[in-house]
């Protein structure tokens, strides 16, 4: 049985249909990278899975249970946690306060402040600094660490490299590899194809709200993904998603 099953999901922003009949499954311990250009519907799909956006049609099944109508806070308690684009930390609180606050919303488990710092060692000297004073890479590490403190079964990551310096991206992905090697289940939205192909077991490419390519990362070429990414060689449907 799949850990997560997304079944014929449609999601809208008013009259705009952002996600169109999207279906895929995610196995426990798998890393799936969701790629596509701006406006492809990736963030809306991730928010729909997290419960922050209600779908217009379809259903979401987690651990064999239909959670389509389950509110976001209960999804966190059942093991689904989203690291949103832009991080959205409590900037007036310290790193440690951001981490410990998240633990109250989640499940019991192995993740503690010290365990997070083991994976993101850069946070050790920063644990008592206010989150608003951190660099972009340090804030991203804190945001992922905050999500881990809920002890998720499924970690949803939205654009973890966006706006970060190359050295910060490398540091964040080094820690992500540690999580992946430890068996974490991750659904990753990423525009950096090289990074996505490097860490993911499978790639799903979206265009205008639809899945246009899906396969194992080792079996897809960069050229195939780029062609699907930009919709080369196909007629674009009306009413593009966002």
Residues 31-66: tens digit of each pLDDT = 999 999 999 999 999 999 999 999 999 999 999 999
Is 97's pLDDT higher than 90?
yes
* pLDDT(141) > 50: yes
Share of the chain above pLDDT 70, in %: 96
pLDDT(242) > 50: no
Q: Mean pLDDT of all residues in the chain?
A: 92
- Rounded CA-CA distance 18/42 in Å is 9
Burial-class residue 214 by CB neighbours within 10 Å (0-12, 13-18, 19+). Answer: middle
β-strand pairing of 186-189 with 31-35: parallel
E strands of the chain, at which residues? 4-13, 16-26, 31-35, 57-62, 65-66, 80-83, 154-158, 186-189, 202-207, 210-216
Cα–Cα distances in Å, from 145 out to 25, 46, 67, 99, 201? 25, 19, 25, 7, 22
pLDDT of residue 13: 95
Question: Can you name the residues that pair with 25 across neighbouring β-strands?
Answer: 5
List Cβ neighbours of 78 (8 Å cut-off, separation of 6 or more). Answer: 62, 63, 67, 70, 107, 153
Instruction: Supply the pLDDT for residue 115.
Output: 96
pLDDT in tens, 193-237: 999 999 999 999 999 999 999 999 999 999 999 999 998 855 444
Q: Could you tell me the CA-to-CA distances from 176 to 8, 74, 80, 118 in Å, in that order?
A: 29, 25, 17, 12
Measured CA to CA, the distance from residue 83 to residue 170 in angstroms comes to 18
Assign domain 4-230 to its CATH superfamily: P-loop containing nucleotide triphosphate hydrolases (3.40.50.300)
Global confidence as pTM:
0.90
Q: What is residue 164's predicted lDDT score, i.e. its pLDDT?
A: 87
**SS3 category, 12:** strand
Residue range 120-130: mean pLDDT, rounded = 95
| Helices and strands, counts by H and E, the chain | 8, 10
């Amino acid at each position: 049985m799949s850990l997560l099953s997304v079944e014929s999901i449609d999601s809208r922003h008013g009259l705009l249909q952002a996600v169109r009949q999207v279906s895929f499954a995610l196995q426990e311990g798998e890393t799936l990278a969701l790629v596509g250009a701006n406006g492809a519907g990736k963030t809306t799909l991730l928010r729909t899975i997290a419960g922050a956006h209600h779908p217009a049609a379809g259903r979401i099944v987690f651990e064999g249970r239909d959670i389509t109508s389950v509110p976001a806070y209960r999804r966190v308690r059942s093991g689904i946690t989203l690291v949103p684009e832009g991080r959205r930390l409590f900037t007036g609180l310290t790193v440690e306060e951001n981490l410990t606050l998240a633990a109250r919303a989640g499940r019991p488990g192995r993740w503690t402040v010290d365990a997070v710092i083991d994976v993101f060692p850069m946070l050790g000297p920063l644990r008592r600094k206010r989150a608003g004073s951190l660099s972009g890479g340090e804030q991203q590490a804190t945001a992922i660490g905050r999500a881990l403190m809920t002890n998720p079964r499924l970690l949803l990551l939205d654009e973890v490299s966006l706006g970060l310096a190359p050295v910060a991206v490398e540091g964040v992905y080094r820690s992500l590899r540690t999580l992946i090697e430890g068996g974490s289940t991750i659904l990753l939205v990423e525009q950096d194809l090289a990074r996505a192909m490097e860490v993911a077991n499978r790639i799903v490419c979206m265009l205008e709200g639809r899945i246009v390519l899906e396969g194992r990362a080792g079996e897809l070429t960069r050229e195939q993904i780029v062609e699907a990414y930009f919709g080369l060689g196909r007629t674009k449907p009306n009413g593009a998603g966002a």
